[in-house]
């Protein structure tokens, strides 16, 4: 199943708006969440939830590893899209210990559970 354009943050201005909203921290305008190895920026959005990924080459040198991480995060987003609110940017802060789906998505699941309560 393809990750559609309407589900992605596409432009630099989309990313900038989420980063700015998350850094303002005024009430529920936006938040920054940390769950190793991710840093997650969240901003409110009226339409459906959208996802942006920031996986730097200096953090993960191997392209196949970077792409695996992206695929796992996108699949997690697709599976939980109905409960995710707003625009989200997932940024990798350091190299994960392994690249299995479970190890890459467990920190996201913890954050999702914390945001519901």
Chunked mean pLDDT (size 10), the chain, 117 residues? 84 88 65 83 82 93 94 92 87 90 88 67
Handedness of CA 80, 82, 83, 86 (dihedral sign): positive
* Domains, the chain, with CATH or none: 7-116 (3.30.230.10)
Q: CB-side exposure of 91: number of CA atoms within 13 Å?
A: 13
- Please state the pTM of the whole predicted model: 0.85
Integer Rg of the chain from CA: 14
**Hey, is 43 helix, strand or coil?**
strand
Instruction: Count Cβ atoms within 10 A of the Cβ of residue 66 and give its class: 0-12 exposed, 13-18 middle, 19 or more buried.
Output: middle
């Amino acid at each position: 199943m393809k990750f559609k354009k309407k589900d992605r943050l596409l432009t630099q201005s989309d990313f900038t708006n989420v980063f700015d909203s998350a850094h303002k921290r005024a009430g529920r305008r936006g938040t920054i969440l940390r769950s190793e190895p991710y840093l997650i920026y969240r901003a409110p959005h009226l339409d459906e939830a959208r996802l942006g990924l920031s996986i730097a080459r200096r953090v993960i040198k191997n392209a196949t590893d970077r792409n695996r991480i992206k695929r796992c995060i996108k699949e997690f987003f697709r599976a939980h899209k109905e409960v995710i609110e707003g625009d989200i940017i997932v940024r990798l802060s350091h190299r994960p210990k392994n690249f299995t789906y479970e190890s890459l998505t467990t920190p996201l699941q913890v954050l999702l559970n914390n945001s519901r309560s």
